[in-house]
Amino acid sequence: VVLKKIVEGPAEIQLVSDGVFYNPVQEFNRDLSIAVLNVFTEEYIAEKETLIQKKNKENSGNESAEDDTPKVEVNLLEALAATGLRSIRYAKEVPNLTKILANDLSKKAVETMKVNFEHNQVADKVEPSLDDACMLMYKHKHPATRFAAIDLDPYGCPSIFLDAAVQSVQDGGLLLVTATDMAVLAGNSPETCYCKYGAISLKTKCCHEMALRILLQCIESHANRYSRYIVPLLSISADFYIRVFVKVYSGAVHCKKTTSKLGMVYHCKGCDNMTLQLLGGFKPNPTEQRPDQEKAFLPAAPTVGTHCENCNQRHSLGGPVWAAPIHDERFVTSVLERVEGDDTQSLRTRNRIQGVLSMVREELQEVPFYHTLDKMCGRVHVTCMPMLIMRSAILNAGYKVSFSHAAKLSVKSAAPTAFLWDVVRAW
């Protein structure tokens, strides 16, 4: 008996039993993931083909050897698949995916999936699986059985799945991770955030970008345990959740650079200012003679005091957070161009994707966090000044400025905070 029918993109889902999860608000999440996967799979295939061709030529010792490159398989695991809607859409809308495994712990969910894979004629490409997501991923941690992409879209916090996920994705493969426990990540429960993500969250105007940076830090720390590291492609805050797309690579030497990609956050309780202090990094150590230790780890010297230099109120401390870029500008541009050039109109949230990605592409990557104009003006008891005037003042002073997609009225700039306060006070 079909209880309800849902149409999203080219997929039609029949809900055949109660209690199987479906959230229409996540359509944007699914559309965006399809756009990202289309670009990722294209690039993944090209990278793998180049590697295979190089190896073939080395093995044959013949530069002009016949090209017999085998077809690159691109398999994806949807570890928490519920109705299977996402997997059906991936099968229909990401042609480069060769095989999809759609898993759920719930028998009802897997029964629903089976009906829908047949109904949508994707049963040859999408396989249903009834298993605990972690147990399933652990069975795929050998390099020969890893997935090119793993999608984690749980209720709430994804951290319990990360240990397995970072081990069972291919080198150069993609992790797509959603977190919906925004209250925890946005500073309502910093202790719980530490327990789940290994970082203290803060209640600040930048809480959504901070949530993204906490999640990235958490994935990186899981990856580092297995000499792997992440490269973020796109990190989005939307509605009631965050979603990150990161590539995973292996390399113990690269993992040593992690400390220079992480920082503690000093947050002023008085003026809401945020200052990032890197954990440390690799710097030339002049006292060290041996060439292999030429670049020794030096912890960053503490430069941030207990009190804020703008208003002399106390700092509270949060983090560690990811302090390096949270998007890859080149990749974001490719996704944006693809969405703009897509005439199939299958993505109903296409306009929203274009809007968000255009903003993301402009974000100043070298400036973590931002100020919000309304909060700054409120703090000095003036009516909110026009954004155009603030941005012109910053540009005239010779600094770059951008919005952040994560907050309205955001001002991202490397201009000194004291200068920004002067502009607001002078308004």
Q: Which residues bind ligand SAM (CB under 6 A)?
A: 21-22, 26, 30, 80-83, 85-86, 103-106, 109, 132-133, 153-155
Closest distance to ligand SAM from the beta carbon of 105 (Å): 4
Residue placing its CB nearer to ligand SAM in the complex, 83 or 224: 83
Q: Kindly state the smallest distance separating residue 192's Cβ from ligand SAM, in Å.
A: 19
Query: Other CB atoms closer than 10 Å to residue 239's CB: what's the count?
Result: 11
166: left (phi over 0), alpha (psi -120 to 50) or beta: alpha
Is 339 in contact with 348 (CB distance < 8 Å)? no
**Which residues are bridge partners to 177 per DSSP?**
152, 244
Query: Hunting for tokens 């999608």 — which residue is that?
Result: 151
Please give the Cα distance from 427 to 425 (Å, whole number). Answer: 5
For ligand SAM, the closer CB: 23 or 358? 23
Helix, strand, coil percent values for the chain (each to nearest 5): 40, 25, 35
- Name the residue with tokens 């999408």: 126
Q: Which is nearer to ligand SAM, 81 or 356 (CB)?
A: 81
Q: Which is nearer to ligand SAM, 153 or 272 (CB)?
A: 153
- Which amino acid, residue 20? V
Question: Least CB distance from residue 139 to ligand SAM, whole Å?
Answer: 13
If the CB atoms of residues 15 and 233 are measured against ligand SAM, the closer one turns out to be: 15
Beta-ladder partners of 66: none
Q: Which of 117, 111, 83 is nearest to 99 (CA)?
A: 117
Nearer to ligand SAM, 181 or 220 (CB): 181
Q: What per-residue string of b and e applies to 329-354 under the rule 16 or more CB within 10 Å gives b?
A: eebbebbbeebeebeeebbebbeebe
Instruction: Give the residue with the Cβ less far from ligand SAM, 155 or 419.
Output: 155
CB of 78 to ligand SAM, least distance (A): 6
Smallest Cα–Cα separation from 235: which of 253, 217, 260?
217
